[in-house]
């Protein structure tokens, strides 16, 4: 990729609008309109009038953290989302949506070795779709160590269900941040943050050098020797809705019955095998 795609430019323009702080009266109209049109449930958050920009409303934090299982063997949802697909990998292939497969090795990019990518062959995958109405922050699903992070610049196609049905390899074309993690039971898994149209920014709190939807056009690898995070830790947010893909190695997770359902951050979605 040697120049920014038109979807990047559109997202940057929308991001400027979303970050602008209007007068309290105008901002109130903007916030009320967004909450009403998208059907946001604000019961877990501060009043809509307290957010000084549309982007502040997108990236809102919970008033109080959710309660979740402290059991080491339980794996929680990292976000509020819709599970568009989940299940078993066919070798290295996962479902983007029913009937459309993509290659996980390609999704993970070229900064991981073949050996690192092959650990997930015949493992499990979960696709979390965050719509514009959802809580946009993401959390750590289990106690873990982050081994590597890779920022892969790309496009910013919409990732809603209708777009997933129309565009093959959508996750692979879009900009993403890939985290290689090791859980406390010694198993490895990947968390892939996939950008989408409008704003296109993905914040990663432990790595401020990652600047998504920027002029940086080449993949960048970050490696860590002692980066440990706890279940439930808030480690960033999408500025607008997007997707998280979790890909776990074989014999790591036993998934709950979550396919085609809404899940909440903190909900147990799998258990260690």
Q: Which of 272, 258, 228 lies closest to 79, judged by CA? A: 258
Q: Which helix (H) or strand (E) holds 232?
A: none
**Tens-place pLDDT, residues 197-218:** 765 689 999 999 999 887 777 9
Distance, CA of 31 to CA of 210 (rounded, Å): 29
Tokens of 241: 């809705």
What is the model's pTM? 0.89
Angle, CA of 159, 163 and 166, to the nearest 5°: 140
Q: What is the pLDDT of residue 11?
A: 60
Q: Report the pLDDT averaged over residues 175-204.
A: 91
Binning pLDDT at 50, 70 and 90, where does residue 247 land?
very high
Q: What are the beta bridge partners of residue 85?
A: 127
Binning pLDDT at 50, 70 and 90, where does residue 97 land?
low
Binning pLDDT at 50, 70 and 90, where does residue 1 land?
very low
Q: What are the beta bridge partners of residue 89?
A: none
Phi/psi class of residue 236: alpha, beta or left (left: φ > 0; alpha: ψ in -120 to 50)? left
Q: By the 8 A CB rule, do 170 and 103 touch? A: no
Binning pLDDT at 50, 70 and 90, where does residue 17 land?
confident
CA 50 centroid distance within chain: 25
Q: Which part of the chain has CATH 2.70.70?
A: 74-272
Indicate the DSSP class of residue 33. H
pLDDT at 168 over 80: no
| Residue of 154 and 197 predicted with greater confidence | 154
pLDDT at 106 over 50: yes
Q: Report the pLDDT averaged over residues 12-17.
A: 69
Q: Which of 84-93, 173-182, 196-205 has the lowest mean pLDDT?
A: 196-205
Active site residues: 80, 139, 242
Q: Which helix (H) or strand (E) holds 27?
A: helix 24-38
Q: Report the pLDDT averaged over residues 62-84.
A: 96
CATH for 74-272 (2.60.40, 3.30.70, 3.40.50, 2.70.70):
2.70.70
């Amino acid at each position: 990729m040697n120049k920014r795609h038109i979807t990047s430019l559109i997202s940057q323009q929308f991001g400027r609008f979303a970050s602008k702080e209007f007068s309290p009266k105008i901002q109130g109209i903007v916030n009320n309109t967004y909450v009403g049109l998208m059907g946001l449930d604000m019961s877990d958050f501060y009043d809509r009038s307290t957010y000084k920009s549309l982007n502040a409303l997108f990236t809102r934090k919970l008033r109080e953290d959710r309660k979740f299982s402290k059991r080491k063997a339980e794996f929680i949802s990292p976000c509020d989302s819709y599970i568009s697909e989940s299940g078993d990998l066919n070798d290295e292939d996962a479902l983007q949506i029913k009937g459309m497969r993509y290659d996980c090795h390609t999704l993970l990019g070229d900064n991981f070795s073949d050996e690192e990518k092959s650990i997930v062959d015949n493992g499990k995958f979960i696709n979390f779709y965050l719509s514009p109405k959802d809580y946009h922050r993401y959390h750590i699903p289990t106690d873990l160590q982050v081994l590597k992070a890779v920022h892969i610049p790309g496009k910013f196609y919409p990732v809603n269900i209708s777009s997933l049905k129309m565009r093959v390899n959508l996750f692979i074309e879009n900009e993403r941040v890939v985290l290689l993690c090791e859980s406390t039971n010694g198993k490895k898994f990947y968390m892939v943050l996939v950008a989408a149209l409008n704003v296109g920014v993905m914040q990663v709190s432990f790595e401020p050098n990652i600047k998504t939807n920027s002029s940086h056009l080449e993949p960048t690898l970050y490696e860590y020797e002692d980066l440990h995070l706890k279940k439930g830790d808030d480690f960033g947010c999408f500025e607008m809705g997007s997707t998280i893909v979790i890909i776990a190695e074989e014999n790591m997770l036993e998934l709950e019955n979550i396919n085609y359902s809404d899940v909440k951050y903190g909900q147990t979605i799998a258990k260690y095998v």
